[in-house]
Amino acid sequence: MARPSGPPRESPLSVQAVPVTSGRAPEGLTAADRKRMLRVMLLSRALDERGMTLQRQGRIGFYVPVEGQEGAQVGCAVALDPKDWLCPGYRETAVALSRGIPLRQLLSQLYGDRADLCQGRQMPNHFAFREFRFVSASSPIGTQIPHAVGLALAARLKGEKVVSVAFFGDGATSSNDFHSGMNFAGVYRAPVIFFCQNNQWAISLPRSKQTRSETLAQKAEAYGFSGLQVDGNDVEAVYAAVKEARARAIAGGGPTLIEAVTYRMGPHTTSDDPRRYRSAEELALWKSRDPVERLKETLVREHALTEEEFDQFLEAARAEVAAAIQEVEPLPPPDPGTLFDDVFARRTPQLEEQRAAFLAELPGSGGRKE
């Protein structure tokens, strides 16, 4: 019996090569397009800056930063059709911005206020926007993966030429539902894209301890479809990979697993201190691969962007976030009575009874019965 050779790799950095960009801009992506993408990435980053501080100041309860993964998220989102279904996790804020979901609506969700489409029912960053086919995110890792398969099969049954995309992390590739979703998608050749952002960490667990597989992409092979690794900090490379996967899915060629190799530059969430488990050197190395800087440099090199213009974009993004915060922050929390709505399509007699008692007991109700 052959024994596995050695312990799991300790550092994701020493061994895992980051694929390099082909160097040419993918077809159909003009300089103007890429500048728009850059602006969305900057908007996401500006929101991260404020989101982290708003939490520190106690103005919102929690925050999940995207920082470092904007290239992967925006590259992917822009390659999709607006009608494609998105099954996000909790870290897909730049995907949401890329879809054109108004900043105000994202902020209302972070605050859990009366204008929040989710009625303040979830922790920050667990977005849901039906109008944008941005499916409600939940906290349990991996559960959205089979949903994407169901959506893709439903769309195919109804003759709609769209794909669905499941977004998840490196950690999620160990979850039960990663297997469930990948296997079902392979069996039915579902028009779905599995978009894995390998950001090297699942809270404190490095990618090397998540699986002994050489790459995450190679897991697709076992399910009978193709998987590929792409430099997730190269927005253009991601765009090209997703475009290709989408075309294949629409043509009936089945699913694709894309492993976007990237890095979470911030903490896992506002509750996390990454200094406990990773080195400053590692962070510095990945900062040198910052997707925002890379896109900026490319555009500057092509004379499509100036430093001044970039600074203006950043200032504009910060101003946009500040203005949206000002607008949203005064909004009141959801009406207490809404606690009992949307459990079912209609309140059951039991919920009606509990609601009436709850409202009667609320401070200021004067003990009145509704």
Ligand X SMILES: Cc1ncc(C[n+]2csc(CCOP(=O)(O)OP(=O)(O)O)c2C)c(N)n1
Q: Which is nearer to other proteins, 22 or 348 (CB)?
A: 348
- Let me know: does 45 contact 265? Beta carbons within 8 Å: no
Residues contacting other proteins: total by CB under 8 A: 50
Q: Is 10 exposed, middle or buried (0-12, 13-18, 19+ CB in 10 A)?
A: exposed
Q: Which residues of 327-356 are buried (b: 16+ CB within 10 A; e: fewer)?
A: ebeebeebeeeebbbeeeeeeeeebeeebe
Q: Which is nearer to other proteins, 165 or 242 (CB)?
A: 165
Query: Of 264, 289, 294, 355, which one is the catalytic site residue?
Result: 264
Task: By CB under 5 A, name the one of 44, 143, 199, 256 that touches Mg ion.
Answer: 199
Q: Give the dihedral sign, CA 320/26/193/212.
A: negative
Q: Is 252 in the site for other proteins (CB under 8 A)?
A: no
Q: How many CB atoms lie within 10 A of CB 230?
A: 25
Distance, in Å, from the CA atom of 51 to the CA atom of 135, rounded to the nearest integer, reads: 22
Q: Which is nearer to ligand X, 264 or 278 (CB)?
A: 264
Q: Which is nearer to Mg ion, 26 or 89 (CB)?
A: 89
Distance, in Å, from the CA atom of 46 to the CA atom of 58, rounded to the nearest integer, reads: 18
Binding site partner of 96, from ligand X, Mg ion, other proteins, none, Cβ cut-off 5-8 A by kind: none
Q: Which stretch binds ligand X (CB under 6 A): 25-33, 120-128, 179-187, 194-202?
A: 194-202
Q: Is 133 a catalytic residue?
A: no
Give the N- to C-terminal CA distance of the chain in Å, as an integer: 73
Q: Which stretch binds ligand X (CB under 6 A): 115-123, 196-204, 284-292, 321-329?
A: 196-204
Q: Which stretch binds ligand X (CB under 6 A): 54-62, 135-143, 252-260, 304-312?
A: 135-143
Distance, in Å, from the CA atom of 119 to the CA atom of 108, rounded to the nearest integer, reads: 9
Task: By CB under 6 A, name the one of 15, 154, 203, 357 that touches ligand X.
Answer: 203
Closest CA to 249 of 133, 135, 156: 156
Q: Is 140 in the site for other proteins (CB under 8 A)?
A: yes
Q: Which stretch binds ligand X (CB under 6 A): 5-13, 40-48, 201-209, 223-231?
A: 201-209
Q: Is 126 a catalytic residue?
A: no
Q: Is 268 in the site for ligand X (CB under 6 A)?
A: yes
Q: Is 87 in the site for other proteins (CB under 8 A)?
A: yes
If you search the block for the tokens 């992506």, which residue do you land on?
A: 29
Closest CA to 166 of 255, 87, 93: 87
Write out the residues near other proteins by the rule CB under 8 A. 85, 87, 116-119, 121-122, 126, 128-130, 135-136, 138-140, 143, 145-155, 157-158, 164, 176-177, 179-181, 183-184, 187-188, 341-346, 348-350
